[in-house]
């Protein structure tokens, strides 16, 4: 059929071979145009609306681990070796799946354009897909937008279909037998970190793609040609999650959903931060390594990890170096990256039990929105003084960056309201934020200062909302 085939299991029971010769053809396009799966809708083509939601399954021992993803920003070769469920997979012999029946009976569908995506997200929850266990229905569908129903009936349809698991032994058997194409024309899919290191050294101009939740948009929105592509999403060596008394090491390929619990154990604010990144479909694809490597000034993980003192391990061929995370970000769009060098892992030291830590994301919409700013504070208070302070912000400069003047105004000073005011004022020396559609420069500076004030008030046992404070403090 093609010299670059991709193989996947469709509907849980059929092995499919498809054309993988265009490495940046989207999975959505392949499913709709090649397989006639027109239930998979294109709403935004940028991962925001969830109309294109499908379930991806991967072998996990004897079972299949399922996760909901946005097919509009997933490249077709990323389906290789996986199982795929679309809304057409749900009904059996013309009988709607209970999730679909509940949506129809409860008037959870009006124009219907969003409905397949909701059905897939709710179906995912009903079979215990990644990120749905012990998760409220509202969080599971936060990455699905509906313009007609007001969500009430959709939430109800979810409540009526609690997690029940599924029998996917047949899918698992088919997945085990699936031929794997290690690479195709213009794309490589190394299976080990060593293979990646060798490949990237030989093709330093190639574009690494992990979850494609950033890179996907470069293709669907900016129409960029990525050139040679190296998919790293299937490299098991990059998926390590090592927790110890000293800290947490996350492989660059660990996805948000996989990292969430370990991060929350390190500090609850980290778990909450992850919950606020994109919708579930984005967290089921996007990686921590991609968030760091992308170098965006408004990436959410970097400020938090910088404040906690994280270090980045980079690999170039067989050589590795470890740098403080803040040193990675040089200037807008520029990182401390050498040719053929990739992010291998990030190390986050475990905060001392008495450390005062606060991580806060401010965005116009609570769910599934990019930050106007994201601030993180890690303080040590001893004998009534600030013994150490690390403060970092995203959205305040061209890169995620520490706040040296604010830190200096805190360190060694009495832990008092006066010190906090001096440190809040110092933020204006650290940052000259931009005004854009997410917030004005004045808003950003005032809100950053208020986050520090809130930390102080909370440390005094008061509960304060940033919204309760006048923006000028
Ligand atoms: C709808 C939507 C909502 C989003 N919401 C948020 C949000 O709330 N907060 C937020 O911070 N981000 C958000 N993002 C952005 C994105 O999800 C994250 O930045 C994500 O972590 C990127 O990871 P990825 O694996 O998808 O990276 P990719 O898109 O695959 O890659 C991103 C960049 O990193 C490089 N790269 C990836 N891995 C490596 C590696 N190991 N070594 C070297 N280079 C590498 C790639 O070459 C590319 O330059 C959102 C995106 C979408 C589409
Ligand atoms: S089409 Fe909107 S998320 Fe994919
Ligand atoms: S039913 Fe119309 S967008 Fe949801």
Q: Does residue 191 lie within any of the structural domains?
A: no
Q: Does residue 192 lie within any of the structural domains?
A: no
Q: Does residue 217 lie within any of the structural domains?
A: no
Q: How far apart are CA 394 and CA 372, in angstroms?
A: 8
User: What is this structure's pTM?
Assistant: 0.96
pLDDT at 162: 87
> Which of 162, 178, 194 finishes a domain?
178
pLDDT at 180: 77
Residue 164 and residue 311 in one domain: no
- Cβ of 327: how many Cβ atoms within 10 Å? 12
- Please give the distance, rounded to the nearest whole angstrom, from the Cα atom of residue 266 to the centre of ligand 1: 22
User: Measured from the CB, is residue 51 less than 6 Å from ligand 2?
Assistant: yes
Residue 374 and residue 455 in one domain: yes
Q: Does residue 473 lie within any of the structural domains?
A: no
Residue 274 and residue 403 in one domain: yes
Residue 269 and residue 147 in one domain: no
Which regions in the chain score pLDDT beneath 70? 1-3, 181-182, 464-473
Q: Tokens standing for 292?
A: 């760091």
Task: Return the percentage of the chain with pLDDT > 70, whole number.
Answer: 97
Q: Does residue 166 lie within any of the structural domains?
A: yes
Q: What is the three-class DSSP state of 46?
A: coil
At 398-437, the pLDDT tens digits run 999 999 999 999 999 999 999 999 999 999 999 999 999 8
The percent helix, strand, coil of the chain (3-state, each to 5) is 35, 25, 40
Backbone φ and ψ for 392, nearest 5 degrees, come out as -140, 150
pLDDT at 457: 95
Which ligand sits closest to the CA of 226? 1
Closest ligand 2 atom to Cα of 71? 4
Q: Does residue 202 lie within any of the structural domains?
A: no
- Please give the distance, rounded to the nearest whole angstrom, from the Cα atom of residue 342 to the centre of ligand 3: 42
pLDDT at 466: 53
Q: How far apart are CA 283 and CA 295, in angstroms?
A: 18
- Please give the distance, rounded to the nearest whole angstrom, from the Cα atom of residue 179 to the centre of ligand 2: 29
At 382-391, the pLDDT tens digits run 999 999 999 9
Tell me if 122 sits within 8 A of 159, measured CB to CB: no
Residue by residue, DSSP assigns 127-173 as TT-TT-TT--HHHHTTT---SSS-SHHHHHHHHTS-------HHHHH
Q: How far apart are CA 412 and CA 406, in angstroms?
A: 12
Tell me if 200 sits within 8 A of 208, measured CB to CB: yes
CATH of the domain at 150: 3.10.20.30
pLDDT at 471: 42
Burial of 147 (0-12, 13-18, 19+ CB in 10 A): exposed
Closest ligand 1 atom to Cα of 293? 34
Determine the residue of 54, 74, 117 to mutate for testing ligand 2's pocket, defined as the one with the most ligand atoms within 8 A of the Cβ atom: 117
- Please give the distance, rounded to the nearest whole angstrom, from the Cα atom of residue 213 to the centre of ligand 1: 5
Residue 163 and residue 256 in one domain: no
Structurally, the chain folds into a number of domains equal to 2
- Please give the distance, rounded to the nearest whole angstrom, from the Cα atom of residue 220 to the centre of ligand 1: 15
Q: Does residue 419 lie within any of the structural domains?
A: yes
- Please give the distance, rounded to the nearest whole angstrom, from the Cα atom of residue 147 to the centre of ligand 2: 14
Ligand 1: residues within 6 Å at CB? 46-48, 73, 207-215, 232, 252, 277-278, 282, 285-287, 289-291, 293-294, 299-300, 342-343, 370
Residue 168 and residue 315 in one domain: no
Domain that holds residue 302: 236-468
Determine the residue of 110, 117, 120 to mutate for testing ligand 3's pocket, defined as the one with the most ligand atoms within 8 A of the Cβ atom: 110
CATH of the domain at 432: 3.30.390.50
Which ligand sits closest to the CA of 114? 3
């Amino acid at each position: 059929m093609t010299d670059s085939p991709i193989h996947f299991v469709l509907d849980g029971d059929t092995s499919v071979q498809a054309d993988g010769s265009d490495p940046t053809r989207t999975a959505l396009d392949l499913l709709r145009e090649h397989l006639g799966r027109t239930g998979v809708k294109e709403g935004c083509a940028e991962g925001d609306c969830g109309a294109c939601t499908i379930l991806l399954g991967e072998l996990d021992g004897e079972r299949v681990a399922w996760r909901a993803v946005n097919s509009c920003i997933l490249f077709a070769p990323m389906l290789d070796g996986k199982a795929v469920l679309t809304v057409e997979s749900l009904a059996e012999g013309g009988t709607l799946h209970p999730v679909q029946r509940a949506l129809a009976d409860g008037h959870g569908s009006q124009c219907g354009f969003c409905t397949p995506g909701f059905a897939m997200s709710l179906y995912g929850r009903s079979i215990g897909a990644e990120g749905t266990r012990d998760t409220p229905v509202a969080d599971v569908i936060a990455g699905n937008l509906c313009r007609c129903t007001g969500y009430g009936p959709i939430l109800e349809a979810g409540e009526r279909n609690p997690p029940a698991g599924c029998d996917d032994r047949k899918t698992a058997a088919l997945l085990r037998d699936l031929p794997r194409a290690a690479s195709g024309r213009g794309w490589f899919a190394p299976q080990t970190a060593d293979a990646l290191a060798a490949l990237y050294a030989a093709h330093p101009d190639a574009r690494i793609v992990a979850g494609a939740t950033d890179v996907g948009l470069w293709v669907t929105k900016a129409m960029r040609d990525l050139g040679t592509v190296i998919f790293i999403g299937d490299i098991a060596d990059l998926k390590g999650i090592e927790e110890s008394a000293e800290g947490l090491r996350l492989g660059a390929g660990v996805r948000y959903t996989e990292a969430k619990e370990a991060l929350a154990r390190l500090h609850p604010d980290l778990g909450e931060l992850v919950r606020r990144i994109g919708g579930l479909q984005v967290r089921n694809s996007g990686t921590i390594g991609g968030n760091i490597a992308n170098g965006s000034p408004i990436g959410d993980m970097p400020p938090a990890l910088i404040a906690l003192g994280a270090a980045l391990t980079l690999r170039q061929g067989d050589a590795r170096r470890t740098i403080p995370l803040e040193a990675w970000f040089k200037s807008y769009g520029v990182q401390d990256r050498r040719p053929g060098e990739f992010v291998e892992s990030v190390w986050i030291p475990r905060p001392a039990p008495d450390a005062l830590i606060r991580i806060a994301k401010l965005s116009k919409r609570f769910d599934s929105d990019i930050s106007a700013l994201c601030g993180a504070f890690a303080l040590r208070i001893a004998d009534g003084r600030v013994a150490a302070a690390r403060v970092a912000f995203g959205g305040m400069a061209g890169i995620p960056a520490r706040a040296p003047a604010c830190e200096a105004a805190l360190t060694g000073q009495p832990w008092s309201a006066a010190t906090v005011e001096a440190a809040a004022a110092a933020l204006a020396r650290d940052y000259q934020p931009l005004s854009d559609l997410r917030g004005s420069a004045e808003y950003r500076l005032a809100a950053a200062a208020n986050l520090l004030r809130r930390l102080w008030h909370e440390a005094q046992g008061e509960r304060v909302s940033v919204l309760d404070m006048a923006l000028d403090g």
